[in-house]
A = this chain, B = another copy of it.
Amino acid sequence: MTAATDVVVIGAGLAGLAAASRLVDAGAEVVVLEARERVGGRTLTLPAADGTPIDHGGQWIGPTQDRIAALADRVGVTTYASYEHGLNTEFRDGRAHRFDGQLPDGSDPVSAVAMGQAIRELDAMAARVPLEAPWTAADALVWDSQTVETWLQDRVSAERARNWLRAVIRGTLAAEARDLSLLHTLFVIRSAGGIAPLIATAGGAQERRFHGGAQTISIRLAESLGERVVLGAPAEVVRHGESGVVVEAGGRAVAAGRAILAVPPAIAGRIGYRPAMPGWRNQLTQRVPMGSVIKVHALYDEPFWRREGLSGLAVSDNGPVRIVYDNSPEDGSPGVLVGFIEGQQARTWARRNRADRRAGILACLTDYFGERAGRPRELLERSWADEEYSGGCYAGYFPPGVWTSFGQALREPIGRLHWAGTETATVWTSYMEGAVQSGERAADEVLAAS
């Protein structure tokens, strides 16, 4: 029962499918093994009760994310602008404040100055991180020896500014400032082109959404790959040597010249290798944990907040849901709010029972948008840490000490094994764009080696 091919790709997320498509374009034979019964990895679009496609995973696309845009274009998936008219909401000290623009602190000059200064300083440091090799930055060891929390406490004097930056980091990496290496965070900022592109809706990472949902791209790519994509085939053992690779997956075996492992480092570490991985690769996979996020959708008959002059964007200092966006379909029917439970909140609330968690979520929505927000016709939640083959979202992150000790192990092929996944990207790492770049880069490696 051994199938033979040129390249076996493990993982049918965007990275794996982008790699496979590029290889097929170049005339290679490819088999893609996917553990789940679906493609798309950390993108997942499911219909709500009324059929509205809901993106439970990655969903946004913005300027400079050219590779995912091209891929979507190729399979005929179009985009529309995220809704962002009206006032934003900041919930703080027990009440909702409405504000215009991106920064809630315009009314508080001390915090606004501190925030602007911190952003400029982070951007300036980030500009000094070489994207191909963050560990070679002149200050790499200094930055990798401290958490972002330490940096915030040392460098940002205003508590509100610190809290706002903690929220930005949580919103970007689904981890706490105390979990993260400063060097890693600077690398992520640099890979996106700065803090402004990370946080902005128009002009930034949250600018547009995909008609039919982001997973549609992967589904159509998989359709075009046809029988090359095998579902329900979790890679268990990867045998590799000078003559080729054999992957054992759910009772199948696929022999190939080379393999691309298009899964996060933490998940790659759970596969068995014969021979075993060298220690430096083994230890890397122990050190890049996945972020913690529960994504929540509340559906209403209409986006009632819009008529009240509100954008649906809320940031909060309290409760499980600390960031909310209007996530209605393009025609505004039904009204949909998406809330993110991230970092420590995700870790705490995942352990409570469903009823408590729903009550906590609805209390947040009520605080931000009034009583009506507390009575959605449907409330959906997705905890990515529970997904065995993702292990968390949005991506793997680097705690202190990991980039400078193990950065070299991240993309370096081991014999005939090549590594993809958004964690290995140099642009928009942890985003869909990074996934596509990583898959295309791994495909190019394989093509160059063949």
Binds B, one of A82-90, A371-379, A400-408: A400-408
Q: Given the interface contacts A147-B147, A270-B269, does A280 sit within 8 Å of B401 by beta carbon? A: no
Chain A count of residues within 8 A CB distance of the other chain: 51
Complex CA distance for A177 and B292, rounded to whole angstroms: 25
Q: In the complex, are the beta carbons of B145 and A385 less than 8 A apart? A: no
Q: Is A125 an interface residue (CB 8 A)?
A: no
**Chain B interface: which of A14-22, A283-291, A417-425, A432-440?**
A283-291
- B289–A386 CB distance below 8 A: no
Choice from B276, B280, B347, B408 contacting A406 with Cβ under 8 Å: B347
- Does A132 make an interface contact (CB < 8 A)? no
A144: chain B residues at CB < 8 Å are: 178
* Contact A145/B147 with A385-B283, A401-B399 known, Cβ cut-off 8 Å: yes
Name the B residues within 8 Å of A277 (CB-CB): 388
Q: Is A289's CB under 8 angstroms from B279's CB?
A: no
> Roughly how many angstroms separate A80 CA and B244 CA in the complex, as a whole number?
51
Q: Mark A129-163, 1 if CB is under 8 A from B, else 0.
A: 00000000000010011110110000000000000
Nearest CB on B from A113, distance (A) = 25
Cross-interface CB contact of A178 among B145, B280, B292, B406, cutoff 8 Å = B145
Q: Does A351 lie at the interface of the complex (its beta carbon under 8 Å from any beta carbon of B)?
A: yes
| Partner pick for A383 among B147, B279, B404, CB 8 A cutoff | B279
A392 at the interface (CB under 8 A from B): yes
Q: Are B147 and A149 in contact (CB under 8 A)?
A: no
Say whether A52 faces chain B, with CB atoms less than 8 Å apart. Answer: no
**Chain B min CB distance to A419 (Å):** 17
Closest to A278 in B: B386
- A283/B178 in contact, CB under 8 A: no
Residue among A147, A283, A384, A386 with most chain B CB within 10 A: A283
Within 8 A of B (CB), among A283-317: 283, 286-290, 292
Residues of B within 8 A of A146 (CB): 146-147, 149-150, 178
Chain B residue at minimal CB-CB distance from A266: B286
Q: Does A11 touch B at the CB level, under 8 Å?
A: no
Residue A391 interfacial (CB < 8 Å): yes
Question: How far, in Å, is A386 (CB) from chain B's closest CB?
Answer: 4
* A400→B398 CA distance, assembly (Å): 11
Q: What are 15 A-B pairs at a CB distance below 8 A?
A: A141-B178, A146-B178, A175-B401, A178-B401, A179-B401, A280-B347, A280-B350, A280-B385, A282-B392, A283-B391, A283-B392, A286-B392, A344-B405, A347-B406, A351-B408
Q: Known pairs A266-B286, A282-B386. 18 more at Cβ < 8 A?
A: A145-B149, A147-B400, A147-B401, A175-B401, A176-B401, A179-B402, A270-B270, A279-B383, A279-B387, A282-B385, A283-B289, A283-B290, A283-B391, A287-B289, A344-B404, A347-B405, A347-B406, A399-B400
